[in-house]
Every structure is written in structure tokens, then in C-alpha cells.
Amino acid sequence: MAELVVNGVSYALDEDGFLEDASVWNEDVAKALAPNEEVEELTDAHWKVINYLRDYYDQFGVSPMVRKLLKDTGYTNATIYELFPTGPGKGACKIAGLPKPTGCV
């Protein structure tokens, strides 16, 4: 099992680099995970998606379908991929500290 160390604290990651425990996530963890997903700096647009994903997960216990993410954030699929080059499932959910979405390759 891999781990991520941020500010002296170790966080367990699964074999795909997703946090093992979504409840330990914080903004510093997001910033540490971002470069691995080809995101150099988290902008307000990134945080809008990340906070939406976390809120949705907290409410429903799963990550939203991409169509729901697009509808609720107002972003296009192209914009999501500009923000998160590795995709909404792999990149955005990983940076948001969520488990790997079902069906995510």
C-alpha cells in the first residue's frame, strides 16, 4: 500500500493513488495530489468541482455521474478535462479525496 505524506502526516493510498479513507482529506492533501493528476495549481474553478464532488459524496455516499457533475457545475465536458486532464473520475475524484468511482478505468 502506498502512502502520501503531507505536513508530516501519512495518508494511506490504494494501488491507484486514491485515498483509502475519504474522511481524512483536507485542502493540503488535495494540493499534494494535484500534480500527480497533471494539475499544477488549484484555481477557484478547480475548487468549485472539488467542493461539489465532496458535498455530493457526503450526501449520497457515491461520486456523481459525469452528466450530473456537468449539469450542477455548469461546466462542459471539455472544461472539466481542461481543469482535470486525467478526467473527472480519475483526476477530479482523486484530488477531492474520494474513493475510485465505479467504472473508472
What residue spans define the domains of the chain?
2-95
1 — pLDDT class (breaks 50, 70, 90):
low
pLDDT at residue 14 tops 90 = yes
Tell me the pLDDT tens digit for each residue of 56-80. 999 999 999 999 999 999 999 999 9
Owner of C-alpha cell 494511506:
12
The residue-averaged pLDDT of 31-39 equals: 96
Quick one: three-class SS letters along 59-70?
Answer: HHCCCCCHHHHH
- Confidence at residue 89, expressed as pLDDT on a 0 to 100 scale: 84
Domain spanning 2-95, CATH class? mainly alpha
93 catalytic? Reply is: no
- Total residues found in the chain within this entry: 105
In the set 2, 52, 104, 105, the catalytic residue is: 104
| Cα–Cα distance measured from residue 93 to residue 49, given in angstroms and rounded to the nearest whole number | 9
